[in-house]
């Protein structure tokens, strides 16, 4: 296992700026101010036959939790994605965004931090493959650059809150832009054609789920608020063991990468108003979510997608969806709890509730048929015996028995006969209709 090094810096020229830099700059500054990144301590156990695991942290903030806060979450995420691993080794590097992280004006700039992180990770791994690299937030930007440099090495990458996520990451939304005063370059999408990668994002986290159409101001403001309310709280919300089978998680696989999008129950836009009654917030959330989702294209999380101007939409459809979502939210508040049978297609229902397109939800493995491929053929012993020919005298006995039972309807364990007798008597027909299946079974 390689040892971590101190802060070593490499210089390179920033990319040329483009007109989208203004929007991008606001987003990144808000991200750095509001983001929270904890540090990690080493686990006490060792699996000598397992691959080495390295953790590249995000930017250091003033309000970050203690060193041990992220440990159990990181281990659980790795256990449920990359698999067994040795104790995680933290990769120390600048991890700063001048002038808005912990050291303020004494911090390294964004680009310097990324280069420093790549150098530190290269030294830690000895440029050898076969490792597990866990990275979150700014650390995921470092891991992306390292992935590009190292090529295919047999590593496994687990990226959480990845700003370079191909469809949603702010580094790809404004790919090619630069903010010279911050020494911040937008470096595009994480590769999908190299080593195995797992990418975990929260819906509306502005670092990793930024809208495709930022001129949708509702979507943009909602994503920026998502940085404050969502980005630093992955361990508090995500259950790593449920990533593959939760109805609240959309899963897609593209080339070598498995993408997860964890639904957000309440729009960040409404989170400052948590003091309001829940029914009111629900009634506001539903139509706002329809309008906010117009700023997104969730058809393929692995397709590098830059920012666009205005989506092609039908105003009539939008109006219908807004009204329909509002009505459904009100109905949901007043409806009785769902039965087990009504709860069958939970994935589709939660996808609709969170505004995620049905096509995205359909990518989930649990959304496919549960048929295991076996024929439900009954054994001969389970089949009912075929009716035998009944002699005339036996038929007479049966008729007499039926007549006797019909004359004593109050006898326990008996029911009204079916057929012409019940059909000809309205009262009998109504009473028979109130019985349960178990009461009428022979």
Query: pLDDT tens across 181-192, in order?
Result: 999 999 999 999
Q: Check residues 14 and 200 and name the one with the higher pLDDT.
A: 200
- Give the DSSP per-residue string, 209-265: S--S-TT-HHHHHHHHHHHHHTGGGHHHH--GGGTTT-TTEEEEEETTEEEEEE--S
Q: Check residues 46 and 78 and name the one with the higher pLDDT.
A: 78
Query: 262: which strand partners?
Result: 202, 249
Grade residue 71 by pLDDT with cuts at 50, 70 and 90.
Answer: confident
- Per this entry, what is the length of the chain? 442
Query: Which pLDDT tens digit goes with each residue over 231-278?
Result: 988 988 999 999 999 999 999 999 999 999 999 999 999 999 999 999
- Using an 8 Å Cβ cutoff, are 118 and 142 in contact? yes
The chain-wide mean pLDDT, for the chain, equals 75
Task: Count CA atoms closer than 13 A to 370's CA, side-chain side.
Answer: 4
Query: What is the rounded distance in angstroms from the CA atom of residue 357 to the CA atom of residue 350?
Result: 11
- Number of neighbouring beta carbons within 10 Å of residue 239: 13
Q: What's the whole-number mean pLDDT along residues 422-432?
A: 38
Using a pLDDT cut of 70, give the percent of the chain over it. Answer: 58
Q: Note the pLDDT of residue 49.
A: 80
* Alpha helix stretches (DSSP H) within 66-131: 71-79, 110-125
Query: Which pLDDT tens digit goes with each residue over 389-417?
Result: 444 454 445 445 444 544 444 443 433 44
Using a pLDDT cut of 90, give the percent of the chain over it. Answer: 51
- Using an 8 Å Cβ cutoff, are 38 and 71 in contact? no
What are the structure tokens assigned to 197, written together?
């990668």
Looking up tokens 């049966």 gives 398
- Using an 8 Å Cβ cutoff, are 250 and 363 in contact? yes
What are the structure tokens assigned to 163, written together?
């700003």
Quick one: CA torsion of 323, 327, 328, 332, rounded to 10 degrees?
Answer: 160
Lowest mean pLDDT among 24-33, 143-152, 165-174, 290-299: 24-33
Query: What is the rounded distance in angstroms from the CA atom of residue 227 to the CA atom of residue 214?
Result: 15
Task: Please state whether beta strands 196-202 and 257-262 pair in parallel, antiparallel, or not at all (unpaired).
Answer: parallel
- Number of neighbouring beta carbons within 10 Å of residue 341: 6
What b/e string do you get for 17-40 counting C-beta neighbours within 10 Å, with b at 16 or more? Answer: beebbebbbebbbbbbebbbbbbb
pLDDT exceeds cutoff 70 at 63 = no
Q: Note the pLDDT of residue 379.
A: 41
Q: Check residues 101 and 214 and name the one with the higher pLDDT.
A: 214
pLDDT exceeds cutoff 80 at 351 = no
Grade residue 198 by pLDDT with cuts at 50, 70 and 90.
Answer: very high
Q: Note the pLDDT of residue 345.
A: 55
What is the three-class DSSP state of 90?
Answer: strand
To the question of pTM greater than 0.85 for the whole model, the response is: no
Query: 253: which strand partners?
Result: 258
Q: Is 325 a catalytic residue?
A: no
- Using an 8 Å Cβ cutoff, are 90 and 55 in contact? yes
Q: Note the pLDDT of residue 436.
A: 36
Return the domain boundaries, the chain.
21-338+346-367
Catalytic residue among 137, 185, 246, 325: 137
State the burial class of residue 7 (Cβ atoms within 10 Å of its Cβ: 0-12, 13-18, 19+). Answer: middle
Q: Note the pLDDT of residue 186.
A: 97
Grade residue 92 by pLDDT with cuts at 50, 70 and 90.
Answer: very high
């Amino acid at each position: 296992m390689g040892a971590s090094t101190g802060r070593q810096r490499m210089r390179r020229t920033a990319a040329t700026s483009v007109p989208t830099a203004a929007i991008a700059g606001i987003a990144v500054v808000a991200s750095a101010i509001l983001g929270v990144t904890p540090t990690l301590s080493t686990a006490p156990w060792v699996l000598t036959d397992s691959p080495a695991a390295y953790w590249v942290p995000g930017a250091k903030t003033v309000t970050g939790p203690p060193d041990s806060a992220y440990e159990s979450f990181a281990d659980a995420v790795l256990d449920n994605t990359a698999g067994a691993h040795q104790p995680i080794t933290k990769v120390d590097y600048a991890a700063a965004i001048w002038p808005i992280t912990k050291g303020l004006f004494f911090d390294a700039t964004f680009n310097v931090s990324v280069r420093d992180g790549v150098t530190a990770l290269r030294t830690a791994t000895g440029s050898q493959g076969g490792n597990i690299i866990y990275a979150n937030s700014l650390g995921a930007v470092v891991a992306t650059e390292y992935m590009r440099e190292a090529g295919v090495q047999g590593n496994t990458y687990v990226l959480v809150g990845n700003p370079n996520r191909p469809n949603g990451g702010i580094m790809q939304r404004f790919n090619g832009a630069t903010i010279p005063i911050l020494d911040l370059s937008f470096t595009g999408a994480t590769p999908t054609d190299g080593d195995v990668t797992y990418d975990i994002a929260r819906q509306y986290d502005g670092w990793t789920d930024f809208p495709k159409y930022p001129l949708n101001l509702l979507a943009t403001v909602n994503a920026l608020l998502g940085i404050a309310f969502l980005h630093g709280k992955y361990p508090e919300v995500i259950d790593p063991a449920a990533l593959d089978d939760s109805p609240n998680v959309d899963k897609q696989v593209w080339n070598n990468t498995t993408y997860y999008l964890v639904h957000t129950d309440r729009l960040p836009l409404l989170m400052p108003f948590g003091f309001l009654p829940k029914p009111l917030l629900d009634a506001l959330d539903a139509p706002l979510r329809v309008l906010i989702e117009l700023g997104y294209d969730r058809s393929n999380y692995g397709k590098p997608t830059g920012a666009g101007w205005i989506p092609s939409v039908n105003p009539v459809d939008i109006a219908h969806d807004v009204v329909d979502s509002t009505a459904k939210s009100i109905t949901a508040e007043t409806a009785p709890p769902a039965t087990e049978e009504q709860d069958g297609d939970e994935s589709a229902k939660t996808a609709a509730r969170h505004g995620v397109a049905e096509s995205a939800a359909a990518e989930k493995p649990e959304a496919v048929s549960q048929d295991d491929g076996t024929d439900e053929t009954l054994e001969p012993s389970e089949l009912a015996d075929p009716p035998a020919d009944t002699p005339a005298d036996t038929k007479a006995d049966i008729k007499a028995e039926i007549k006797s039972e019909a004359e004593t309807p109050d006898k326990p364990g008996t029911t009204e006969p079916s057929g012409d007798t019940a059909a000809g008597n309205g009262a009998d027909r109504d009473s028979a209709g109130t019985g349960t299946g178990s009461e009428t079974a022979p």
